[in-house]
Amino acid sequence: MTTTDTNEIRHKMNIYGREGKPFFFAINFEQTEGLFIDNPLQQTDVLFQFCEKGNAPEQEVIKKVSSFNYIPIPYSEYKKKFDIVHKGLKEGYSYLTNLTIKTPVSFNLTLEDIFFQSNACYKVLYPNKFVCFSPERFVKIAGKTISTNPMKGTIDANIPDAEQIILNDYKETAEHNTIIDLLRNDLSIIADNVRLNRFRYIDRIRTNKNDILQVSSEITGTLREENYLNYGDIIFGMLPAGSISGAPKDATRKIIQDAEKEPRGYYTGVCGYYDGNELDSAVIIRYIENDENQYYFRSGGGITAYSDCEEEYKEVLEKIYLPIV
């Protein structure tokens, strides 16, 4: 395993892509640190499972979830962060900002247990550091076709008519449309024939608390001949991921720094696996980190000028779950 600077990771991704050599990568939100692993299926320092592909061995479930507790951030503390973001939105520096928090959690499982038992399309275990069970694809590249699936919108599936409520919600629709425009623009820099294939489709996620519904869209394009194997340039050119930063990106990142007041680290960064043929990658969300033997669950949500602080507070707490039933 190599922990290295991001310039070197970008360079290696370009070389390995052109040579058809498999690799795994992870890049933190600030783009100051990352992982690059060649022949990732031949190592177990970092475990990953991307849908049907990965290096995770079969594991029998021995210990089940019997406790999962967290201490919510006080509403007053969240509101201070929200107000900083809302001020930036009202002043026109951003029209969508993703605000995140970290919440102390405790449970009867290890990070390894959570990794093996989680039901998620994208799972990563960096031992003693973090576990991620993300439902959100960042980009997939198959040949010259690139696709991205931004996820924006969460609701408790037990609410009557939950699907119609979230699909008809003005704020949620505006937020989702903003991310689609941002990702279309990101893809248009490197691809032609950029188009919206699926708009606001619903995924149901089963958790240890209750089911939730997530809203996503799919955008595709055709990579240009001169760059379609330069995976490092492609991925880094789209960072940070629009769904967990906002728009416009540069000004929004400054607002995020002012509101959150600490680095996110690998949370809301991206990770990916190239098998020598296709590259698939995920946004590092649904994330538990180990900080000196204290576990923190990181969660967040998009804020617009129309956002209600109490509703946003509920949403970030709703996202604190384990996808284990």
Q: Examine residue 323 and state whether it is found in any structural domain, yes or no.
A: no
Predicted local distance difference test score (pLDDT) of residue 85: 98
Q: Which residues of 222-233 are buried (b: 16+ CB within 10 A; e: fewer)?
A: bbeeebbbbbbb
Handedness of CA 143, 192, 149, 238 (dihedral sign): positive
Number of domains in the chain: 1
Predicted local distance difference test score (pLDDT) of residue 171: 86
Q: Examine residue 29 and state whether it is found in any structural domain, yes or no.
A: yes
Q: Residue 120 in contact with residue 323, Cβ under 8 Å?
A: yes
**Does residue 2 surpass a pLDDT of 80?**
no
Q: Examine residue 41 and state whether it is found in any structural domain, yes or no.
A: yes
**Does residue 127 surpass a pLDDT of 70?**
yes
Instruction: List Cβ neighbours of 243 (8 Å cut-off, separation of 6 or more).
Output: 98, 136, 150, 151, 152, 179, 183, 283, 302
Q: What is the pTM of this model?
A: 0.94
**CATH of residue 59:** 3.60.120.10
* Residue-averaged pLDDT of the chain: 94
Model pLDDT for residues 194-233, shown as the tens digit of each residue: 999 999 999 999 898 889 999 999 999 999 988 889 999 9
Instruction: Return the structure tokens found at 184.
Output: 């279309």
The Cα–Cα gap between 6 and 124 comes to 19
The Cα–Cα gap between 88 and 100 comes to 16
Instruction: List Cβ neighbours of 298 (8 Å cut-off, separation of 6 or more).
Output: 100, 101, 102, 103, 264, 267, 268, 287, 288, 289
pLDDT band with cut points at 50, 70 and 90 for residue 183: very high
Q: Examine residue 324 and state whether it is found in any structural domain, yes or no.
A: no
Predicted local distance difference test score (pLDDT) of residue 1: 60
Element (H, E) at 51: none
Model pLDDT for residues 36-52, shown as the tens digit of each residue: 999 999 999 999 999 88
Model pLDDT for residues 58-100, shown as the tens digit of each residue: 877 677 888 999 999 999 999 999 999 999 999 999 999 999 9
* DSSP secondary structure letters along 242-276: GGGSEESHHHHHHHHHHHH-S--TTTT-EEEEE-S
Q: Residue 216 in contact with residue 201, Cβ under 8 Å?
A: yes
Q: Examine residue 37 and state whether it is found in any structural domain, yes or no.
A: yes
Instruction: Return the structure tokens found at 158.
Output: 């037990």
Model pLDDT for residues 242-269, shown as the tens digit of each residue: 999 999 999 999 999 999 999 999 999 9
The Cα–Cα gap between 140 and 124 comes to 17
Q: Examine residue 27 and state whether it is found in any structural domain, yes or no.
A: yes
Q: Examine residue 258 and state whether it is found in any structural domain, yes or no.
A: yes
Domain that holds residue 73: 2-318
